[in-house]
Amino acid sequence: DAGVIQSPRHEVTEMGQEVTLRCKPISGHDYLFWYRQTMMRGLELLIYFNNNVPIDDSGMPEDRFSAKMPNASFSTLKIQPSEPRDSAVYFCASSLVGWTQYFGPGTRLTVL
């Protein structure tokens, strides 16, 4: 079975550009989570969805960040405009009811 799929795996962009990260959760999972990993702050939860509905977005750092889940098999995390301090690895994870989350391979974002 395919795990969580994220694209792109690497993204290099210039400051001010729009960045869209994509995630396909494991089929049948009800929860989808977006995390950001940096050296300074470790793994931080940005937002999570239950049955496609955003439940808690208190971890989203600024209005420049937005996330959507238009259906059960797809979610996006958008940064507009991007800034160098947004450089990080962004992970998507999904889970069935419960605490065991399954992570994708991550997207390494570099904003120049």
Partner 1 sequence: DQQVKQNSPSLSVQEGRISILNCDYTNSMFDYFLWYKKYPAEGPTFLISISSIKDKNEDGRFTVFLNKSAKHLSLHIVPSQPGDSAVYFCAASEGDSGAGSYQLTFGKGTKLSVIP
Stretch that binds partner 1, among 16-24, 40-48, 60-68, 71-79 (CB under 8 A): 40-48
CB under 8 A, 24+ apart: contacts of 4-8: 4/92, 4/93, 4/94, 4/102, 4/103, 4/104, 4/105, 5/104, 6/90, 6/91, 6/92, 6/104, 6/105, 6/106, 6/107, 7/107, 8/107
Q: Which residues in 16-35 contact partner 1 (CB under 8 A)?
A: 31, 33
Stretch that binds partner 1, among 17-25, 64-72, 79-87, 102-110 (CB under 8 A): 102-110
Residues that bind partner 1 (CB under 8 A): 4, 31, 33, 42-45, 48, 56, 91, 93, 95, 97-106
